[in-house]
Chain A
Amino acid sequence: MKQIAISQLGQLLDAMAARQTLYLPVDQGKTAQFNRYESGMELSKQLNTSRSAKDLFFPQVEHLADFQVEGTSITVKPRQQQEEDFILFGVRACDAKSFEILDRVFLAEPQDTFYAARRSHATVVTLACGAPEETCFCTVFGIDPADPAGDVTAWLTGEKLCMRANTKKGEKLLAALPLLEDGGEQAVVAAQAAIHAVTDKLPLKTLDLTGFDGEHLMEKFNSPHWAQLSESCLGCGSCTFVCPTCQCYDIKDFNTGSEIQRLRCWDSCMYSDFTMMAHGTNRPTQLERFRQRFMHKLVYFPANNEGIYGCVGCGRCLKKCPISMNIVKVIKTLGEGER
């Protein structure tokens, strides 16, 4: 365990940024976003960023390749992948867990090389949650906000920032930061106890996921409740785009006039043109689209991934949905009295 006085946080961030590009949550108006660190920037005090940390590995738009057409020949020019190491600082426990879920999608064969390159070049420094909010339910998925994963775990303990390396990469990073001094174990234990005192009071901690598995797939799929749950859904993509585990994308070509750019961009199963292909018969109504999103997270994903849910309980969709329909309401409605 290493530690440093909070008053020296700026120097520590400068030291990290001097080694590698550093990304951290900073305040931007009312919300916080992961931004590239420049000296003088302050770490956001908000519990979570508006968009999740998945942006750093799976950005909203990924430039895959360019095509140049000359006469009858087409030259394909692949775009450069991540080649430099970078540090991702201040990731919360829920977002750190979401990386494991995204890994299962993008690192399975055939591997997504753009994602893999970003993952392999990143050192993730997580930060234990100071003050969980009522929308948090990560504990339901076995996540401990007081002890997040990542290459390095950090805690803000009043006057100190304490850091613990979890992996070789993490050890290497901490070893390269001479500002740090040994110690902090006691403070971390106290900080964890304080966080657990709050998580014990979280209103959503008793959420029951019993019955959300491959065994009950048809039962859940055919539930009569979907109609009522989806009736006020506006079909926007807010929930999808702020979600740390949503991983669907579309591939679009853009003609610049001199070449074709191939872009991979986030897509949302809530959109009417999601998975629209030549047959023209993708999911016809918002009911099917809405059902797909939650069936994917709560049933299909665990059925294919040893019971791991496609949700980490970060609570972003609870805060961002324009009409306050969210995964918690779905779990409660479909879970109760259905078994």
Chain B
Amino acid sequence: MQVNGQFQPTIVAFCCNWCSYAGADLSGTNRLQYPANVKIIRIPCSCRLNPMFILRAFQRGADGVILCGCHPGDCHYTSGNYFARRRMTLLFNMLEFLGIERERTRVEWVSAAEGAKFAATMNDFVATITRLGENKRLEDLRCKSK
């Protein structure tokens, strides 16, 4: 969206309840700043992320989507993030195959103790998407706010 003539990206961050969601909390309590562009959606495990969620986030106006989960080996449910990793690898490749910019999607492993990493990740991702510009290739014009 445009704010005062400047592009402000909308970022949707799907965060695992057991790690990065708490990591986001921690970055808050540590007073580490990350941009307000990031809208967090809590999911029970990174593995819960249906590819449909990502596509619909783009439909509803996201310019970038990031998935944050537990570090490989640390999944609360033992192996959910390993499955998520395979799925996202293939899905991101497919999006790129359809001509959608690879930078718009990302996976990052952030534990509950890594408040600083969460804030740094979000700062970096927002900067990347701001450089990249508005999502035009996976948009639904009907949903662009008037």
Contacts and interface: CB of A to CB of B under 8 A. Distances in A.
Are A and B a genuine interacting pair, yes or no?
A: yes
A75 interface: no
B142 to A, nearest CB: 5
Contacts of B143: 256-257
The CB with the most chain A CB atoms within 10 A, among B60, B142, B143, B145, is that of B142
A68 to B, nearest CB: 10
Contacts of B61: 257
B86 interface: no
Nearest to B146: A258
Q: Report which residue of A254, A257, A261 has the largest number of chain B beta carbons within 10 angstroms of its beta carbon.
A: A257
Interface range for A: under 10
A261 B145 CA distance: 13
B60 to A, nearest CB: 7
Interface string B129-146: 000000000000011011
Interface string A251-271: 000101111010000000000
Nearest to B140: A256
Contacts of A258: 145-146
Nearest to A256: B142
A259 B144 CA distance: 11
Interface string B109-146: 00000000000000000000000000000000011011
| Interface majority SS (helix, strand, loop, mixed), chain B | loop
Looking at chain A's contact residues, the main secondary structure is loop
Nearest to A261: B142
Q: Which of A256, A258, A261 has the most CB of B within 10 A?
A: A256
B111 to A, nearest CB: 34
A183 B140 CA distance: 52
Contacts of B142: 254, 256, 261
A37 B145 CA distance: 32
A256 B140 CA distance: 9
Contacts of A259: 146
A237 B143 CA distance: 28
Interface in A240-256: 254, 256
A261 B146 CA distance: 14
A258 B140 CA distance: 13
A256 B142 CA distance: 6
A258 B146 CA distance: 8
A203 B143 CA distance: 51
Interface string A117-152: 000000000000000000000000000000000000
Interface in A258-292: 258-259, 261
A59 B1 CA distance: 32
A261 to B, nearest CB: 6
B26 to A, nearest CB: 32
A254 B146 CA distance: 16
Contacts of A254: 142
Contacts of A261: 142
Contacts of A257: 60-61, 143, 145
A298 to B, nearest CB: 39
A259 B145 CA distance: 9
A264 to B, nearest CB: 15
Contacts of B146: 258-259
A59 to B, nearest CB: 16
A256 B145 CA distance: 8
B57 to A, nearest CB: 13
A256 B144 CA distance: 8
A254 B142 CA distance: 9
Nearest to A68: B146
A261 B61 CA distance: 17
A69 to B, nearest CB: 14
A257 B60 CA distance: 8
Nearest to A263: B142
A254 B61 CA distance: 15
B101 to A, nearest CB: 23
A254 B140 CA distance: 12
Given A258-B145, A258-B146, 8 more contacts: A254-B142, A256-B142, A257-B60, A257-B61, A257-B143, A257-B145, A259-B146, A261-B142
9 contacts: A254-B142, A256-B142, A256-B143, A257-B60, A257-B61, A257-B143, A257-B145, A258-B146, A261-B142
For the complex of A and B, list the 3 residue pairs with the smallest distance between their C-beta atoms, beginning with the closest.
Answer: A256-B142, A256-B143, A257-B143
